[in-house]
Amino acid sequence: MWLAAANVLACLSIVAPWPATATRTRFAPLVAAAFAGAQLLFEGPRWQMVPAYALAGLWLVIRPWLSRSRPPRTEPVAGLARVLGLLSLAISVGLPAAFPIFRFPRPTGPYGIGTSTRHWVDVGRPDPFFPGPGRPRELMVQLWYPAQEASSPSRASYVEHPRALASLAGLLHLPPFVFGHMRLITSNAVPSAPIAARGRPYPVLIFLHGRGGYRQEYTSLVEDLVSSGYVVAAIDQPHAASGVVFPDGRRVPFDPRMADDSFVDGMVGPLAGDVVFALEEIGGLDQADPSGIFTGRLDLGRVGIFGVSLGGEVGAEACRREPRLRACLAMDVWITPSVVRSGLQQPAMLITRDVATMRGEGWSEAAIDRTQSTMRALFDRSQGATYLVKVAGMFHADFSDARLLSPLTSILGITGPIAASRAHAIVTDCALAFFDRHLRGDPTGVPKGRYPEVHLEARP
């Protein structure tokens, strides 16, 4: 924003009458150019700033010429310069505001946060999207964990490889470079920080992203869970994610077949297999983590799973198959027929919206009916403690970090009328209360009556 302020000053030096203001503003273009250089040097280039860079250079060229000129001969040219200057200024200020370098909210729990990313290869299972010899299933998994308070100011990037999000940009009809600045956004986590020593081993939660999503898309929620004493393992599922970048530089993009619901239905089972494999690898970390962070610090008797959209669907299917998963949180998704028929043995929380909100967002009647009816059926048929939560005014993207990415999400109707902070508080409070009750034995239970827009049913 310093560069934007400098450009405002430089623009005023052109818009204001001269030569009366020449002395006062003759250094404004130099200030704008200096801030442009500083931003490039210390933060690095980003596409939102290109108009600001151009504008800073333009001031250096135009201002001296206009200072030597006199009206009325140059007045038409000066008038055009003023109009173009104001237009360029609006763009140079507007683009960084529309796609900002934002800060994540400070987590609410008592722990610091560390993070570590792992590359796991399931040599015994071929990639289900392109089965064949020599193509084992590979996963990138990011682990967040309670950490000792670190004196280091270093913080992990929100998205280390923004090119992984090129497919997501395409799905949103945006150019592939639009998320490039996300490498400059930092989370509250410290890379490879020492794990917090106090307390017994930590319960583990597995997170699954949505269709075309990415493992960091719920960082706000993840950081609150971790700061409250959970280890969270977020799985990037190749071909179902927007893109996955492996340590050798390979990028696996989103498989366009995943846009077809009937194809997705057939892939839920294989994607649930990723969860089973991840459980084995997490167990290996507890036994002997090569980095030493997790050895003996993971409570594998208290493992839960949560996911949104496709991630919630896959998570429920994984719980049907895998009894080591002790609690299931599925957000805003329809449930597979196999899970609906059998129900779940584990405690489950299902969070969605009311029908009116889904219609207001523009969902088809078929999608609304499938989501509402299958969540209701799972609620009715599950054997464990089950909760059905409906939040009025919350759109699908409100469950994620979407509103932090850009204020345009609200203007364009991508996010709903509910306030961003309130949506985050509702989901975080429900998730913490659910996992605390069923993985830690906290009798407090799921919040009821705290939020008027929340309708909660519980059984038994």
- Looking at residue 430, its pLDDT comes to 95
- The pLDDT of 31-39, averaged and rounded, is 61
pLDDT in tens, 18-27: 444 444 445 5
Instruction: Give me 142's structure tokens.
Output: 């990011």
Helix (H, G, I), strand (E, B) or coil at 396: helix
What average pLDDT does the segment 363-391 reach? 96
List, as one string, the DSSP characters of 214-251: -TTTTHHHHHHHHHTT-EEEEEE-TTTSSEEE-TTS-E
- Does residue 306 surpass a pLDDT of 50? yes
Domain with CATH 3.40.50.1820 in the chain: 112-459
The H or E element that residue 309 is part of is: none
- Strand partners for 330: 307, 350
Query: What span, in angstroms and rounded, lies between the C-alpha atoms of 311 and 209?
Result: 5
Beta-strand ranges (E) seen in 29-149 are 112-126, 136-147
- To 10 degrees, what angle do helices 50-68 and 28-42 make? 160
CB atoms near residue 259 (< 10 Å): 12
CB 119 within 8 A of CB 83: no
Determine the pLDDT at residue 449. 74
For every residue of 364-395, which 3-state class applies, written as one string? CHHHHHHHHHHHHHHHHHCCCCEEEEEECCCC
Decide: 243 and 252 in contact? Cβ < 8 Å: yes
pLDDT band at 64 (very low <50, low <70, confident <90, very high): low
Euclidean distance between CA atoms 32 and 5, whole angstroms? 8
Residues 260-282 have pLDDT tens digits of: 999 999 999 999 999 999 999 99
pLDDT band at 6 (very low <50, low <70, confident <90, very high): very low
Beta pairing partners, 299: 203
- CATH architecture observed for domain 112-459: 3-Layer(aba) Sandwich (3.40)
In this structure, of 124-133, 143-152, 289-298, 449-458, the range with the lowest mean pLDDT score is 143-152
- The pLDDT value recorded for residue 181 is 83
Q: Phi, psi (5° rounding) for residue 445? A: 85, 175
Q: Which residue has the tokens 């996911």?
A: 307
Q: 460 preceded by cis ω (within 30°)?
A: yes
What tokens were used for 410? 């609200």
Residue type, 291: S
Most confident of the following: 124-133, 147-156, 398-407, 430-439: 430-439
pLDDT at 19: 46
Q: CA angle at residue 143 from 140 to 145, to 5 degrees? A: 175
pLDDT for residue 456 is more than 90: yes
Residue 17: per-residue pLDDT: 47
Provide the pairing of β-strand 136-147 with 386-391.
Answer: unpaired
Residues 6+ apart with CB under 8 A from 407: 97, 98
